[in-house]
A and B are shown apart, each in its own frame.
Chain A
Amino acid sequence: AQSVTQPDIHITVSEGASLELRCNYSYGATPYLFWYVQSPGQGLQLLLKYFSGDTLVQGIKGFEAEFKRSQSSFNLRKPSVHWSDAAEYFCAVGATGNEKLTFGTGTRLTIIP
């Protein structure tokens, strides 16, 4: 069965600083990987996805993620965070596509001035 681990429950970053959110997955074959962002009380917005090909994936809002098969990781990065990036971030893995995504428990990002 597939699984996702987001080891950081809460991260605080200063505005303008760089950001890296960790995601480790477990899946026997080549996974489909996603990062979603959720503002309080809201639904999920897709930031980026990896299906195959280039292991460095660019997403919206200046985010990127790198797939590292050897480390079973798909970490999310942003070179300079903005106050509006404060939210909950979820990593997800899919098996044969989008049918059944398995999400991590999320990382809450706080931005300080």
Chain B
Amino acid sequence: DTGVSQDPRHKITKRGQNVTFRCDPISEHNRLYWYRQTLGQGPEFLTYFQNEAQLEKSRLLSDRFSAERPKGSFSTLEIQRTEQGDSAMYLCASSFSSGNTIYFGEGSWLTVV
């Protein structure tokens, strides 16, 4: 059973560097979501795709953040010029269609030093 897969699971980077996270959703799921979770908080919505179209972006997604899903399968989340405030867990999730269960991945931890 292949669930939502995220890579890397952990990333430590220096402030100012760029990082990229990859998410592979469950096969045939046409919706893909990105959330961010900081310590002691619940996940916060960042953006979501239906197939390759990015349908909504949160105000949390500053211009240093960009997400893509080029062929409607895997997705990448890139953070440019990282800041210490970007330290968080980045969660990817997918679902088959609206109203169905969202399945979350294990998350990608980012530490900016």
Which of A's residues lie within 8 Å of B, judged by CB? 4, 32, 36, 41-46, 49, 51, 90, 92, 96-106
Bound complex: CA of A101 vs CA of B91, how far in Å? 13
Chosen A-B contacts, 24 in total, with CB atoms closer than 8 Å, are A32-B99, A43-B91, A43-B105, A43-B106, A43-B107, A44-B43, A44-B91, A44-B104, A45-B104, A46-B102, A92-B42, A97-B98, A97-B99, A98-B31, A98-B99, A98-B101, A99-B33, A99-B98, A100-B56, A100-B58, A102-B45, A103-B43, A105-B40, A106-B42
B89-108 at interface with A (beta carbon < 8 Å): 91, 93, 95, 98-107
Which of B's residues lie within 8 Å of A, judged by CB? 4, 31, 33, 35, 40-45, 48, 55-56, 58, 91, 93, 95, 98-107, 109
The 6 residue pairs across chains A and B that have the minimum distance between CB atoms: A103-B42, A97-B98, A44-B104, A43-B104, A43-B106, A100-B45
Please indicate the chain A residues that have their CB under 8 angstroms from the CB of B95 in the complex.
98
Bound complex: CA of A106 vs CA of B45, how far in Å? 15
- Minimum CB–CB distance for A87 against chain B, Å: 14
Find the A residue at minimum CB distance from B109: A41
Determine which residue in A43, A96, A101, A103 has the highest number of CB atoms from chain B within 10 A of its CB, and name it: A43
Bound complex: CA of A44 vs CA of B103, how far in Å? 8
Q: Does the CB pair A99–B43 fall under 8 Å?
A: no
Bound complex: CA of A12 vs CA of B45, how far in Å? 29
Find the B residue at minimum CB distance from A103: B42
Q: Does the CB pair A104–B42 fall under 8 Å?
A: yes
Find the B residue at minimum CB distance from A34: B102
Bound complex: CA of A85 vs CA of B94, how far in Å? 25
Q: Does the CB pair A105–B98 fall under 8 Å?
A: no
Bound complex: CA of A100 vs CA of B35, how far in Å? 9
